[in-house]
Amino acid sequence: MAEFTFEALTPTAFLRRSATVFRDRVAVVDGEHTWTYGEFDQRSRALTGLLSGLGVRPGDRVAALCTNSHVMLELHHGVPMCGAVLVPLNIRLAVDELVYIVGHSGATVLIATAELAAAARQVADATGVRVVVAGGPDDEYERLLASSSPSPVATSDETALLSINYTSGTTGHPKGVMYHHRGAYLQALAMAMHNGLGPASSYLWTLPMFHCHGWSFPWAVTAAGGTQVCLRAVDADVIWQLLRQHGVTHFSAAPTVLSMIANAPSADGPPLPAPVAVTTGGAPPSPTLIARMTELNMEVTHLYGLTETFGPIAINQWNPEWDAAGPDQQVMLRARQGVGNVVASPLRVIDGHGADVPADAATLGEIAVRGNDVMLGYYRDDDATRAATVDGWLRTGDLAVCHPDGYVEVKDRRKDVIISGGENISSVEVERTLDSHPAVLESAVVGAAHEKWGEVPVAFVDRKPGYTVDERELIQHVRARLAAFKAPKRVVFGPLPKTSTGKIRKNVLRQRWQTDYASTYS
């Protein structure tokens, strides 16, 4: 039998190919600057020499405190090209939190874009890490890049550590989720296939690249030979400008960001020339939001995943037969989380004993996952790794039902379910109902302690600009559509606190209720 040599799978292989196949096509747009695939590859390879010159060796950790920029895209290729481990940092964290992550990861070099140079230097003062700033009056990154010779290292083990992505840490220190080369390679292919990416695609970076590597789209778009349009700060008017200016075909964002885009004044400007494929995740999008995006010529596909699963492990795969369904039914179908993506193992919804729940769209269970696009474990935290896995399956903490067609629909996070008088209330269900009111921009429902019922739902609501609605009207709106015990007992109006990825921070809202409102409620 003939012997064949197989190369280890690594996402850096995509740029190597595209630098040949799409050499003169535009790969990256960042403000007024553009780079072709040939130039993108040259800069990423030069980055390997820059890092080597700073003493970075295979297995060393390189932290990145960067906006969505050409620098962050180059780091996604250059760092693994030299065998090092990328540590993307959440740019909205406080300096003390960044200091913890840099120290815990053991990073020796920190690359920062100029917007974040001050925070990077404070981290360096506390940890001793070597900082290189990209941009600004003294652009050390460009100076070092220009004088560096490529020194890539071939990947021999596709299960080797590619990166460490830290969770938000809302209940304690953030945990370092370990990614491997094989998972990133396969996840990128899944994103490219499911989103129909190709050389004519233009991907707008509304999703933070530091979050799950932007769901592996830095490598997915590169594999497809598309153009990546950088967005250094989320601004709805700028997003609309870029959508129209660059003929954007794809972008990804959390539902809260979609809501901001859909309700921005710029949305009423010239219509988009062609449909835009939008992927969303992080929280279930409301049917109301999906309908609004459809009006704007944006087709929303719902994804589901965790930091621990390289981002989207599941996709709401649309079946052509559903095109015949009515508009309301189509919206409800699009709100589901879906099935495992093309490289994932099938998702399970299990009960407390680890058995699969009936696929009846009613029996609640917890989503469990495993496969190629699941983490190696938590960095330097074996106890947390063991606690998260049972019988080889990662328990997600998300409660869901399984429909007869095998599609999963998340009902709530386990910690967000409200138990009132022995009845389980899905905060997501109540939020969807609130969001269906024409005056509501977005909402969040949490449980408030109650002497008689244990817990009751209370709502935090942000109204659309120019709209008025009071507490009584919203409560009646919910009571007319859901069981009375599910209706919020109080409604608090105002902007909602969010994470850097656009998720509403319900832990902050629970504390806010307890501190500011609980004493006035009876």
List of residues 6+ apart from 321 with CB closer than 8 A: none
Q: Calculate the average pLDDT of the chain.
A: 92
More confident residue, 170 or 185: 185
The whole-number pLDDT of residue 522 equals 53
Indicate the number of domains in the chain: 3
Tell me how crowded residue 363 is: count the other CB atoms within 10 A of its CB: 14
Say what the pTM is: 0.85
Three-state helix/strand/coil letters over 278-328: EEECCCCCCHHHHHHHHHCCEEEEEEEEEHHHCEEEEECCCCHHHHHCCHH
Exposure letters 123-143 (e unless 16+ CB within 10 A, then b): bbeebebebbbbbeeeeebee
CA 458 to chain centre: 27
Alpha helices in 448-494 (DSSP H): 471-479
Exposure letters 51-72 (e unless 16+ CB within 10 A, then b): bbebebeeebbbbbbbbbbbbb
Is 202 inside any structural domain? no
Answer yes or no: do 30 and 146 share one domain.
Answer: yes
Answer yes or no: do 516 and 406 share one domain.
Answer: no
Answer yes or no: do 401 and 494 share one domain.
Answer: no
Burial of 153 (0-12, 13-18, 19+ CB in 10 A): middle
Tokens 């940890």 — which residue? 127
Answer yes or no: do 350 and 497 share one domain.
Answer: no
| CATH number for the domain that contains residue 73 | 3.40.50.12780
Range of the domain at 20: 7-193
Is 490 inside any structural domain? yes
Q: Is the pLDDT of residue 484 over 90?
A: no
Tokens 């460490």 — which residue? 164
Domain stop point among 370, 393, 413: 413
The whole-number pLDDT of residue 4 equals 67
Percentage of the chain with pLDDT > 90? Answer: 74
Tens-digit pLDDT profile for residues 415-432: 777 878 666 687 888 998
Task: Look at the alpha carbons of 377, 381, 382, 388 in this order and tell me if their dihedral is positive or negative.
Answer: negative
Answer yes or no: do 82 and 149 share one domain.
Answer: yes
Answer yes or no: do 115 and 178 share one domain.
Answer: yes
Answer yes or no: do 113 and 166 share one domain.
Answer: yes
Tens-digit pLDDT profile for residues 225-258: 999 999 999 999 999 999 999 999 999 998 888 9
Q: Is the pLDDT of residue 284 over 80?
A: no
Answer yes or no: do 348 and 452 share one domain.
Answer: no
Answer yes or no: do 157 and 93 share one domain.
Answer: yes
Determine the Cα–Cα distance for residues 263 and 281; give it in Å rounded to an integer: 19
The whole-number pLDDT of residue 3 equals 66
| CATH number for the domain that contains residue 388 | 2.30.38.10
Is 303 inside any structural domain? no
Answer yes or no: do 427 and 372 share one domain.
Answer: no
Determine the Cα–Cα distance for residues 151 and 154; give it in Å rounded to an integer: 10
Determine the Cα–Cα distance for residues 162 and 408; give it in Å rounded to an integer: 30
Answer yes or no: do 397 and 421 share one domain.
Answer: no
For residue 113, give the DSSP letter: E
The whole-number pLDDT of residue 172 equals 64
The whole-number pLDDT of residue 332 equals 82
Is 297 inside any structural domain? no
The whole-number pLDDT of residue 181 equals 98
Mean pLDDT of 470-479: 94
Tens-digit pLDDT profile for residues 357-401: 999 999 999 999 999 999 999 999 999 999 898 889 999 988 899
